Amino acid sequence: MQKYRCIPCGYIYDPEVGDPDGGIAPGTAFEDIPEDWVCPVCGVSKDMFEPEE
């Protein structure tokens, strides 16, 4: 699964890990995260992420 990087802070969302503290279970694709989810490090919205190369 594709990883995504937060443009402002560099946090990497890894679908294999998810964001348990944010209520996102491991194995959740970035596309399946709710639109109101925010970066757990800097708090920006999901639209501030880009695919990680």
Known binding-site residue numbers: 6, 9, 39, 42
- Per DSSP, 47 falls in state G
Report the residue count for the chain.
53
- Per DSSP, 24 falls in state B
Closest CA to 21 of 3, 43, 2: 43
Q: Which residues are annotated as a binding site for Fe cation?
A: 6, 9, 39, 42
